[in-house]
Amino acid sequence: MVSPKEGGITRCGPLKLEWGRRTYVMGIVNVTPDSFSGDGLAYDCEVALEQALRFQAEGADIIDVGGESTRPSSTPVDADEEIQRVIPVIRLLSSRLDIPISVDTYKYAVAQEALAAGAAMINDVWGLKHDSTLASLAAREGVPIVLMHNQKDAIYADFFTDVLASLRASVKQALDADVSSENVILDPGFGFGKGPEHNLEILRRLQEFKALGLPILVGTSRKSTVGLVLDLPVEERLEGTAATVALAIANGADIVRVHDVKAMTRVARMSDAIVRGWAGPALHP
């Protein structure tokens, strides 16, 4: 594979993602009672809608709705519970937003219900390692799928080589299931099955993931590595997150997944002006 060409396009609901033109911002809406970042909205659809509308106004390009916390000490939920949490929210958001919705899940049943309710992207934090049939769902529905690197521990034979090999395997699974290559997006999995030193190495070497020839999503927002480096609690990690977002964009990120949409949209715009060249206000809508 080669790096994605300038002008490559992925369609996500009403949004045309033109890779290389600018960085896209994904705003996080957690409908969980136990989000690590303290922003879980549980079952409150109206509050979720208010947050999503605010994110849209602040510049988000995509809203990512998740119903299961991925923090290390969280309790997994079954598909039925996750459906009860996310489907009413996705149905409501899809009727009110002008931007597309992504569903953050690794379960086929949840993803299927979410797409039927109006979602236009699958964000699989297990990169098809938990349920490979998500690939056939994405292929059948013609939607983009984010494949993230994840594993249960932080033990590697050769860290970066292992992560690249795992992502290559996920990509092969997707393509073998007839997902079109323009609908595959990669996420190196900052904070998932990795120690702080691994996460920092991912940001330093992010450009090397371009060898896989696909767009890259990066999610560093409020993560524990930021807290460890700065010795700060989750609610005080805005500046640290901003630094990681700016450097991720400088090193090749195409989408950044964030909690603080207003601030990170500004970081992305400034970073794009430097990295991609500033052509006046038309660079960002």
Sign of the dihedral through C-alpha 48, 54, 56, 62: negative
Which of 22, 222, 257, 269 is the catalytic position?
A: 257
Catalytic, 223? Answer: yes
- Give yes or no for a contact between 147 and 104, defined as CB atoms under 8 angstroms apart: no
CA 180, CA 20: separation in Å to the nearest integer? Answer: 19
Beta-carbon contacts of 71 under 8 Å, excluding residues fewer than 6 positions away, are 34, 35, 36
Which of 22, 107, 223, 237 is the catalytic position?
A: 223
SS3 (DSSP) at 257: strand
Sheet strand arrangement including 217-218: 184-187, 145-148, 121-124, 101-104, 62-66, 24-30, 255-258, 217-218
Catalytic, 11? Answer: no
Amino acid identity of 281?
A: P
Please give the positions annotated as active site: 223, 257
